Amino acid sequence: MRSAIVVLDGVEYTVEEKRARENREWRGKLEGHFSEVAAVLESDVDTGAGLASIVRVLSGKVLGAVDLVVELVGDYAPEMPLDEAYESEIIEAFWAVLGLAYPFGFETLTKRILGLVQRISEQA
């Protein structure tokens, strides 16, 4: 079993990796929130319409992203006092949780996201 250390308001917390069934359920929640984003990311972004679609979907998700991340981290590690944490700390905790929930594909996922961001910035 793996774990990650998360710091919230100066206090260290250890987040333990969930068992396979629990991780699968949590990933399902995450996927449910981002399935529209994933569909757009897999589409052809070489056209103006494709890029506009990505911007539209991502802007909607970005506006509610912090609240969604708080919810997802709270679902994975309900023992952590997120109400006492800074949002920047919760975002860091989210990356740690992603690493636990996606033990094989997290680095690939991150590289795809960063590659997409680079492509969008080059087209802008």
> By three-state DSSP, how is residue 12 classified?
strand
pLDDT at position 18, please?
A: 95
Of the candidates 74, 91, 92, which has an alpha carbon nearest to the alpha carbon of residue 83? Answer: 74
Number of domains in the chain: 1
The mean pLDDT value of the chain amounts to: 82
pLDDT at position 64, please?
A: 74
Residue-wise pLDDT for 3-20, tens only, equals 999 999 999 999 999 999
Domain assignment of residue 67, given as a range = 3-123
Taking the C-alpha atoms of residue 15 and residue 97, their distance in angstroms, rounded to an integer, is 8
Give the percent of the chain with pLDDT over 70.
72
Name the DSSP letter for residue 82.
G
* pLDDT beyond 80 at 102: yes
* pLDDT beyond 80 at 49: no
Whether this prediction's pTM lies above 0.75 is answered by: no
